[in-house]
Amino acid sequence: MRPPAEVLPHCPPFLFLDEVTSMVAGERAEGYWRLTGDESFFAGHFPGRPTLPGVLMAEAIAQLGAYIVLHDDRFAGKLPLFGGLDGARFRRQVGPGDRLDLEVEMTRLSARGGRGQGKASVNDEVACQCEMLFVVVDAG
């Protein structure tokens, strides 16, 4: 599988997917984001108790979803954008040194967009779950 940086339009410091470990194009994937503690948001969120913001967990899930979508031939040269986030639940704090394991399954995919379900976990303990809606637009 190609590295996320070769597939996604995101780049550091806003690339939250280190590796995709398994994938069925257009359907599902698994991957992870390893948090080193050097990420700038830890300094202010929260001093003395560095915690990954929940919205960044949801973004990491969405980036894995975008990786799936961009491997579907129908979406070559396109850009998947957030259309909505439903049912987001944050169940565990995530901090420096944690590996955030990500799973996404697409539940609907059409020429204009779709819907997927995602989960982020640390040591098999769910940290975040959400359903995401997205639209697909021309990248240029």
pLDDT in tens, 49-67: 999 999 999 999 999 999 9
Predicted pLDDT of residue 2: 93
CATH (one of 3.40.50.1220, 3.40.50.1970, 3.60.15.10, 3.10.129.10) for 4-138? 3.10.129.10
Sequence-ordered list of residues with C-beta below 8 angstroms from that of 81, at least 6 positions apart, any chain: 134, 135, 136, 137
Look up residue 41 and give its two tokens. 């948001």
| DSSP assignment string, 37-62 | S--THHHHS-TTS----HHHHHHHHH
Segment 24-38, tens digit of pLDDT = 988 999 999 999 999
Model's pTM, two decimal places? 0.96
Predicted pLDDT of residue 25: 86
Predicted pLDDT of residue 104: 98
Segment 76-118, tens digit of pLDDT = 889 999 999 999 999 999 999 999 999 999 999 999 999 999 9
Tokens 């698994």 appear where? 30
Active-site option among 45, 92, 99, 115: 45
Predicted pLDDT of residue 26: 87
Look up residue 84 and give its two tokens. 């909505």
Active site residue 10: no
Q: Where are the chain's structural domains?
A: 4-138
